[in-house]
A and B are shown apart, each in its own frame.
Chain A
Amino acid sequence: MTLAELARPAQDYSYAFLDEFAKREVRRRILKAIAIPGHQVPYASRELPIARGWGTGGLQVTLSIAGPHDIVKVIDQGADDSVNAVNLRRFIARMTGVATTSDAQLATIIQSRHRITEERLREGQVLVLQVPDPEPLRAVEPNISLAREMHADADYALMWLGLYEQVVRFGTFMTGASYPVVVHQRYLMSPSPIPRWDTPMLHQAAHLTLLSAGREKRLYAVPPYTDVRPIEFEDVFFQVENQQGRICEQSGAVNKFMNEIPQPDGSMCYQASDTGYVEKLVRRARGEPVAIGATYYDDDGTFYHPGYLKEQEPDHR
């Protein structure tokens, strides 16, 4: 008998890639994160066969919660067919045997880089957001030990000061994506670099949102039906990206988050960023039977929680 005969084959990975101890740790941290909405929970964060910073945080969560009966959708910047989304999806499917879909309604787990679907998610669905930088205070305090203390004290004064300075200098809030929010009236949270268009979708949502930063080793959660409020003033309001007058050239959709595509002639063409949604609109236009769920914003651009988004008076200065 040789040593080679005794050894197990080198080609051998456990279910969902991570060893069971690693998955158990992630699941425990998730439970803690759900119990303290918006609070960043540190975790060990194993290396995965995907480069760090390419979705390894979201991937560890998805791999830890997925079972063989799950249906997984993966999107990157809204697109199911973006190369990195494709790569993560085939890795998840390869390691867990889950079915995959581009239909937000069919998915049980949606892993996303920086978009939430236009169709409303429902109870029982899990949205896993990939997070590059979990710390909303980073811009005002790069040292994470000090930032942790500020969270403990709910000391967010520097954030309000920054917001005020933006209004004074530029006449408007200048934050693009990753607009900071307060969760359950307590923790300041980065919603990950989703556009402001998506930020309200986290508020009193039916689904569970798990946010995970693999490189920075922090995960946090927004449980279903939890208050999520962007920071704003009583007289200067949070504003989503203006989608007025934009029509998706592929599907005819309006008042959805649009990609701007510059044209050689200097004009701009628009495509709805949520490709799963576009696909269904196109199929419906062809006369195919397709179930399209209610969207967070209707075709007039009205958000489904009345009064949550406030129209800014033009002379607020």
Chain B
Amino acid sequence: MYVAAKGGERAIQQAEQLFRELNGTFDATFVRLIERHMPYLIDRVMGEGSLYAPELAALALAQTGGDLYEAVLLLRAYRSTQPRLAYAEPLDEAHTFTVRRISAAFKDIPGGQYLGPTLDYSHRLLHLDVLDGRDSAPASPDGATGDPIDKTGAADLPFDPHPPALTDWHRRYGLLAPLPDLPPHDPASVPDVTRDPIHFPAPRAHRLQSLARADTGGVLALGYASMRGYGMIHPTVNEVRLGYADVRLRHPVSGALFSAGRVRVCQGEVVTPAGSGSDAHPSTNGAAPPAALNPGFTATIGWNEVKVIAGAMLDLEMEAANAHPAHREEFVLYHTEAVEASGFCIHFKLPHYVTFNSSLDAIRRAYAAVQQAEPQ
């Protein structure tokens, strides 16, 4: 019984104790191991937790026994206690060390395509021999050791870690609408979804921030529904990029730009011909001729390709003229919020006997009214 007279305090302490006993203790070494060896899990927790802190993400995972939603909540709650000290400069291609960049739109693109670190073309076979005591490391092509790039062996062609955006090429040929002429950028003036309540239609910044911290599974489910047949069906992946971005801050005294560190980032970009799928019959407002392609975009901290591709599809849908109700902005952004969705889901475990009792009373009244209306 979870409402025991005076027993509540002891019960919750013991319940937490039992969880800790069952899952074992851990120390700083274990946290470092998670951080080192589970980078994609760390990225997911940091992305949804909206806080770039690999060490804290690893700690959150250790502390929750790997319960992803609990780990994300830990990071978000910790984030609430942190004041905003400074705003970084916007990321751009020139200050992001790109390690993986692919486009499905062309066979080759300016700056080149490179697969980089990926399991995309691996055979999904369990390395059972590891269980027999063998090392998991694959044999390196030329026996080099040390740096992972050296180990892999040199590429045949020189590698440009700062390739231009493919959308630059589209814009040059009028396939995408030109970028607006923005006034000098003040990062502090960007609407911030963690500091302001969201209203709909949401400012673009709120939408992209919400997608960046959205639940991967939720974004995938709604995005997949669009791809599978309830929306654009098959947009083209224009560019997917993984890289390390410099977090550039302006020194408070000297005003000089400096890098405070590098973070793993990824971005996904899809395009679809204007007027196709759920964008059929758009309103043109009688303005300039519409661009030939509509873009969709999502970026997040950490490397999470499924999320940025599905998120980019949803970004497109949210602009579409006739999007399915499940692909409209309010629906997508509210229902892919990892912490809110998971928290509300588990709140149903709380006692609801007062509200249930109130409903019972209404039902009894209805029975009484029926009996009164139909005399025996």
Binding site for B on A (CB under 8 A): 13-14, 17-22, 25, 42-54, 56, 76-79, 81-87, 90, 113-115, 132, 143-145, 170-178, 193-197, 215, 217-218, 239, 241-242, 257, 259-260, 273, 275, 314-315, 317
Contacts and interface: CB of A to CB of B under 8 A. Distances in A.
Contacts of B346: 51, 53-54
B353 interface: yes
Nearest to A84: B350
22 contacts: A18-B81, A19-B82, A43-B197, A44-B194, A44-B196, A51-B342, A52-B339, A53-B343, A77-B352, A81-B9, A83-B11, A132-B347, A145-B330, A170-B369, A172-B366, A172-B369, A174-B362, A176-B362, A193-B358, A215-B340, A273-B354, A315-B372
B123 to A, nearest CB: 40
Interface stretch (B31-39, B70-78, B90-98, B296-304): B70-78
Contacts of B194: 44, 46
Contact of A85 (B7, B8, B342, B354): B8
B50 to A, nearest CB: 9
Nearest to A275: B5
A239 B347 contact: no
A171 B354 contact: no
A175 B194 CA distance: 35
Interface residues of B, number: 59
Interface of B: 2-9, 11-12, 73-74, 76-77, 79-84, 194-201, 330, 339-340, 342-347, 350-366, 368-370, 372-373
Contacts of B350: 54, 76, 84, 113
A171 B369 contact: yes
A262 to B, nearest CB: 11
Nearest to B371: A171
A77 B354 contact: yes
A174 B355 contact: no
Given A79-B3, A114-B354, A115-B354, 6 more contacts: A47-B76, A49-B73, A52-B343, A87-B12, A172-B366, A177-B354
A13 B81 contact: yes
Nearest to A48: B77
B370 A52 contact: no
Given A83-B2, A176-B355, A17 B200 contact: no
- Give the one of B12, B80, B339 with max A CB within 10 A: B80
Nearest to B49: A47
B252 to A, nearest CB: 17
Nearest to B7: A81
A81 B197 contact: no
